[in-house]
Amino acid sequence: MEAVYFGSTGPSNNIVTLYVRNVGTAPFTVASVYENSTLYQISQSPIPVNQVQSIQIFLSGQTWARGDLQTIRVATIRGTTVTATWVS
């Protein structure tokens, strides 16, 4: 995860946009994103080596609040996971 931005639709703080960079030696595909342990299935094309892809999720059953900690986990179809905590 290179960056995470928190947005809203109208009065609801319910959008999270992640930027994922492939720093490896082979393309990979993101399978899912967990935002505070809530699973969001992702349908994205593979991320080529040295490229960045944005992933936008619309939160369901939760919203973010300014200054709160948000734990985000990205999982690939190969099973690799990366977890980071961001301030919304």
H or E, element range at 35: strand 30-35
pLDDT given for residue 28 in this prediction:
96
Cα–Cα distance between 32 and 55 in angstroms, integer? 10
Span 3-25, average pLDDT: 94
Query: pLDDT tens across 33-84, in order?
Result: 999 999 999 988 999 999 999 999 999 888 999 999 999 999 999 999 999 9
User: Is pLDDT above 90 for 10?
Assistant: no
Class of the domain covering 3-87: mainly beta
pLDDT given for residue 8 in this prediction:
93
